[in-house]
Amino acid sequence: MLPKQTGERYLLSSSPHAHARRTVSSLMLDVLVALLPAFCCAVYFFGRRALFLAGTCIAACLVTEALCRLAMKRENTIGDLSAVLTGLLLALNLPPDLPLWMAAVGGVFAIGICKQAFGGLGYNPFNPALAARAFMLISFTGPMTTWTASAWQISAGGMDAATTATPLAFIKKGAEGFDWSQAALLKDLFFGNVNGCLGETSALALLIGACYLLCRRTITWHIPFAFIGTVFLFAMVEGGVPPLVHVLSGGVVLGACFMATDYVTSPITAKGKLIFGCGCGLVTMLIRTAPTGAYPEGVSFSILIMNAITPLINRYTQPKVFGK
């Protein structure tokens, strides 16, 4: 037997003994901060409705998270801020006039079914906010596709009318003779003077947030670049509506920068992220342009579909060992 060591008054642990001191909650906080400009825009365009919807979604998510953890006899995880982020993202994906109880149901579904049922943060196969949105789109089809809060003014190009449709619904209808390349339209899309979900109006606000995330290295450029690039290229080849209109309208920027980049449900390597982003862009455009489809927008579904094949992408994009 070996002699016993004396004087053990120090902590013992295995190396490394240094840490970057970045935490899950600080990453989530980064994303929340990055969403602030978009949220402010939502409040500007839709007023109190935006505040109510976001408050309802976040509260529903937090309560569900806490109750689920309690029921599962696991430690409370609302401190990691992921539930707050899911709530805010869900709210940004809802139309401004949605009844609040529906938003609450969405929040409960996002956390209860899409996240905690799988074991909590890190185990969910689908982006909880998007899965909840898909659920709501099927359950509350009418309210989820009604845009009455603000009237989108199309003043140029011979169509002097107020419309309650989103730009994408307008595209799907096939607005013959409409001048899609006019500067006024692009300006509206960029600054947010259009109909849509809370978070998908102003591309500028979203891009400011995305830049913040890139600078903080919270996300990498791969998924947003591949996603938006594919949408652009597809639209260019398709030759219908100008590519920039496709990129700036609907949820492309929000989806590419904030939803598809969700760590848990996207591939882990750079190569995998590029494939994932391209896939998202491709499916989005297929849904948007398919003449037989009923949906004018495909961002949510494209990300959910790509979430499903993320394990497969991961399997085939493992990094190559240094020296091999």
| Shortest Å, Cβ 5 to another protein | 5
The residue (of 27 and 197) whose beta carbon lies closer to another protein is 27
The residue (of 248 and 260) whose beta carbon lies closer to another protein is 260
| Shortest Å, Cβ 320 to another protein | 6
Which residue ranges make up the site for another protein (CB under 8 A)? 2-3, 5-24, 26-27, 77, 80, 119-123, 220, 263-266, 268-269, 318-324
The residue (of 21 and 48) whose beta carbon lies closer to another protein is 21
| Shortest Å, Cβ 264 to another protein | 5
Tokens for 45, please give them.
């365009």
Tokens for 280, please give them.
């998202």
| Shortest Å, Cβ 276 to another protein | 12
Tokens for 270, please give them.
């750079």
Full 3-state SS string of 15-70 = CCCCCCCCCHHHHHHHHHHHHHHHHHHHHHHHCHHHHHHHHHHHHHHHHHHHHHHH
The residue (of 77 and 150) whose beta carbon lies closer to another protein is 77
The residue (of 28 and 282) whose beta carbon lies closer to another protein is 28
The residue (of 118 and 180) whose beta carbon lies closer to another protein is 118
The residue (of 101 and 123) whose beta carbon lies closer to another protein is 123
| Shortest Å, Cβ 159 to another protein | 46
The residue (of 264 and 309) whose beta carbon lies closer to another protein is 264
| Shortest Å, Cβ 112 to another protein | 18
| Shortest Å, Cβ 218 to another protein | 9
| Shortest Å, Cβ 94 to another protein | 25
